[in-house]
Amino acid sequence: MNDLTSLAIMGGNPAFSKKLHVNLPNIGNRDTFTNLVNSMLDSHSFTNNGLLVQELSKKISEYLQVKHCVLTNNGTSAMLLLIKALELSGEVILPSFTFISTAHTLLWQGIRPVFSDIEQNSWNINGDHCESLITKNTTAIIATHLWGRSCDITRLKDIAERHKIHLIFDAAHAFGCTFKGGMIGHFGRAEVFSFHATKVFHTFEGGAITTNDSVLAEKLEQMRNFGFTGYDQVSRVGTNAKMTEVCAGMGLANIESIEQLILANKMVYKQYQNRLKNFKGIKLIEYNPSESNNYHYIVLEIDEEQVGLSRDEILQILHNENIIARRYFYPGTHKMEPYNSLYPQINSTLPVTNFIASRVLLLPAGSGISEAEIIKICSILDLILKNPEKLRQQLKLKYKVV
């Protein structure tokens, strides 16, 4: 595309007839999945730690090189279970720049989430700020490996050990990623994964807690099944956080294809990287080439001063083209309810979070996107970069205020 009038915002037709989403769910080996579903139907075993769940748990443990993988019905309940199992209380420090669920899992259990700012480069939790927030009531740090780029685990471990508090990781984005060559999954007391449909490895809905701590793993296994330890025996408080067999079947089909799925992501990333490298004011985040990455997210940082349009204006233009770019994790957890009302004073303590949240934009990615689609998306971005003033005027006309 090289004609401004061809843009949908200027009256042209949308570049894509169907909406392009940020993460169209992956489908691993279809035959494996359908065969497993048939065997599940034949066996009449649908849930309650069935054979498929057990097999998937084993395969994930092997892949992540960790002793235990406790599978759950989603990542949020995995985090809820872990917080309960570790008996966290008082205050827990976490970044605001992450998915809202992490803060909810704390407040839901009567624990105060304390929001730390992030590092300017990695966008992960800032160790200095995190440490300054520790009080006598702090019981843990929950750090997110955002976009699969690992936190500064060494630094966080040191902080947690010196202050005698728990360190756990939200590894929702980090399946297949490494820190100093070691697979994410065994760091801290435990790590929590999301296997939501939009993740690189998924089970439709699902999640897991991975750990090398056998006592903790056994406790978690009981807690995800109401605390049952025998047919008529309950030994502790629990809930229902079990993964179903059909979800595990999807997981088995996806784990079989995980290397291809990651490779496809890497190709997509490289294609965007090649095309965006000379775009002034639009920066694609980098993945450390000396680590394994899953390249699942195509994350841009938009510099309004250089581009002449804000991130939100670009978002609007792309949505008109049916490119459903997203602003994860705008505006930051601290600006969403109930946290905004509970802790209004916190905003001024999170300058980097606020800055990045106003600039981040995720583009369609994953194994479902073709090179032709990437070329088209990048040519639209190119057109945007070449015509910021005219586009701003048009946006004002169309939407009155942007």
- Residues forming contacts to ligand T4K in the complex (CB under 6 A) are 21-25, 74-76, 98-99, 101-102, 144, 170, 172-173, 194, 196-198, 207, 324, 328
Of the pair 172, 377, the CB lying nearest ligand T4K is at 172
| Smallest distance, ligand T4K to C-beta of residue 78, A | 8
**CB 205 within 8 Å of CB 74:** yes
Task: Provide the phi-psi class of 65: left if phi over 0, else alpha when psi is between -120 and 50, else beta.
Answer: left
| Smallest distance, ligand T4K to C-beta of residue 151, A | 12
> Can you read off the two tokens belonging to residue 158?
């040191």
| Smallest distance, ligand T4K to C-beta of residue 322, A | 11
| Smallest distance, ligand T4K to C-beta of residue 216, A | 19
**CB 265 within 8 Å of CB 365:** yes
Burial 57-74 (b: 16+ CB within 10 A, else e): bebbbebbebebbbbbbb
Of the pair 171, 307, the CB lying nearest ligand T4K is at 171
Maximum pairwise Cα distance, the chain: 71
Of the pair 149, 196, the CB lying nearest ligand T4K is at 196
| Smallest distance, ligand T4K to C-beta of residue 76, A | 3
The span from the CA of 143 to the CA of 120, in Å, is 16
Residue with nearest beta carbon to ligand T4K:
75
**CB 141 within 8 Å of CB 170:** no
The span from the CA of 29 to the CA of 6, in Å, is 39
Of the pair 216, 365, the CB lying nearest ligand T4K is at 365
Residue 110 is classified by DSSP as T
| Smallest distance, ligand T4K to C-beta of residue 198, A | 5
Of the pair 207, 388, the CB lying nearest ligand T4K is at 207
Of the pair 151, 383, the CB lying nearest ligand T4K is at 151
